[in-house]
A = this chain, B = another copy of it.
Amino acid sequence: MQNTPKSDHNDAQRNIILGSLFDPEFSRVLAKLEPVTFNLGDVLYESGDVSKFAYFPTTAIISLLYIMENGATAEIGLVGNDGILGISLFMGGETTTNRAVVQSAGLGFKMNAKDVKAEFALCRKFQKVLLLYTQAFLTQISQTAVCNRLHSVEQQLCRWLLLSHDRLDSDKLVMTHDLISNMLGVRREGVTLAAQKLAKRKLIKNVRGTITVIDRIGLENAVCECYKVVNDEYERLLDNKLSRHFA
């Protein structure tokens, strides 16, 4: 079980929750982590599932979706190296009403539900950062609600691209319009139209199966205020230099 080489240690710090811990807490938490590879489309939780694990992405992005009875979907929020998947474990509810899907393949770690709860109860710093993250995530969801109500598909696509870009190393988002439309809860054609407009403005490059960010600053100028509200709150609460703009 002594499988925690130096590389894992460094990788774990790429996750902001884990990276906020110091020894001896960090080492103790690290000992309970297990590396995970997330593949595109993997379902980590289904609505109502009692999960055995919480997940700490480092390079992957996980999307939380609500699935309607008629099959329509809409994204609640997304989690990358800025957070943890499995809030309900330490909040006490055990389950949520969402599905968690891997939106962008990558790496991360998982931890037993039991260990998460134990550390949450035991370690002040761990508890504090998890609660702060939960508040930040709450802001993300809130702004998703606002944006869904008041903004155009094009603006929402901008916001979504920026939130995803912030959580990736690359400028390439391997992602079909169809998948994006499931996240945004709009038609595939709507995403195509919006992506074309952004491409025409030279903000992104739009080729089969991949959207490439070519003008990050331009995107930030094009997006609605919702992006900044969420980003500022993540920085404030998690001392998070997530945004490349401020990096």
Where the two chains meet, the residues of A that have a C-beta atom closer than 8 Å to any C-beta of B are 66, 68-69, 72, 74, 76, 87-88, 90-93, 96-98, 128, 131-132, 134-139, 141-146, 148-150, 184-186, 225, 229, 233, 236-237
Contacts and interface: CB of A to CB of B under 8 A. Distances in A.
B97 A142 contact: yes
Given A66-B142, A68-B150, A150-B185, 18 more contacts: A66-B146, A72-B150, A87-B138, A88-B135, A91-B132, A92-B132, A93-B132, A93-B236, A97-B139, A97-B142, A138-B141, A141-B141, A141-B142, A145-B145, A146-B185, A148-B148, A149-B185, A149-B186
Given A141-B141, A142-B98, A142-B141, A237 B93 contact: yes
A76 B146 contact: yes
Contact of A233 (B97, B150, B233): B97
Nearest to A90: B131
B74 A145 contact: yes
A198 B38 CA distance: 47
Given A128-B92, A145-B145, A225-B68, A138 B138 contact: yes
B96 A139 contact: yes
Given A74-B150, A185-B150, A229-B97, A91 B131 contact: yes
A96 to B, nearest CB: 7
Contacts of A233: 93, 97
Contacts of A138: 87, 91, 134, 137-138, 141
A76 B145 contact: yes
Contacts of A68: 146, 150, 225
Contacts of A128: 92
A146 B90 CA distance: 24
Q: Which of A96, A139, A144, A145 gathers most chain B CB within 10 Å?
A: A145
18 contacts: A66-B142, A68-B146, A68-B150, A68-B225, A74-B150, A76-B146, A88-B135, A91-B132, A91-B138, A92-B128, A92-B132, A92-B237, A137-B138, A138-B138, A138-B141, A146-B185, A148-B148, A149-B186
Contact of A91 (B69, B98, B135): B135
Contacts of A229: 97
Contacts of A97: 139, 142-143, 229, 233
Contacts of A135: 87-88, 91-93, 96
